[in-house]
Amino acid sequence: MAENVPAADAPAASQGQAPEGVAYPKTIKSYVRRAGRTTTGQAKAFEELGPRFLLQYQKAPLNAAAAYGRDGKLILEIGFGMGEATAHIARVRPDDNFLCCEVHEPGVGALLKRIGEQEIENIRILQHDAVEVIDNMLPEASIDGVHIFFPDPWHKKKHNKRRLIQSPLIAKLAARIKPGGYIHCATDWEPYAVQILEVLNAEPMLQNTAENYAEKPDYRPLTKFENRGIRLGHGVWDLVFRKK
């Protein structure tokens, strides 16, 4: 689902670094461009709902109270795919405000369509690179949580460096999470789960809420894709860390 963002052949090296012989990319990038066509329904959702639920990227701190028309805990989601889980979570947590980053236009259109069909009020979407949003719109200690669900695992070892969840990004996120806030990641690729666990454990501002992997929080639904994987015997790993 975190297709906005970027199992492997070998687990990551200790201390949350990239696997041996794999350097970090020079610039963190939260997405990979994907092909896809926007449907008529999604285009209609852009036209009718975009003015209200799409935010403009700007190099200035986000005024969350103005964006949502209310105060509330602010949860950043990086990459939401087609928005199925995002819409569900927003419905079961109506008091929280969800800031959702995705560059894939059909996915944005699909979530806008769900917002209209399900009468969801607490989602705002930024169709922009999440890393630039973090750098320029989210000051330190400004968000209450982060969701990164099923980011691209980049299965081949030579592509591991493209993975989203690596130490530089997690340090950025940890600095912007309020004390007591959380980061919740989920993946269905075990070697990536191993790397995520090592990266999160290596971040001094974060603390694991479980011994290793967490039980799936009730708010995160099982998607159709995930249910199909479970039927085929594939595992899913949730990781939930809190800001100290």
Catalytic residues: 152
User: Which two three-digit tokens encode residue 1?
Assistant: 């689902």
Q: How many CB atoms lie within 10 A of CB 115?
A: 23
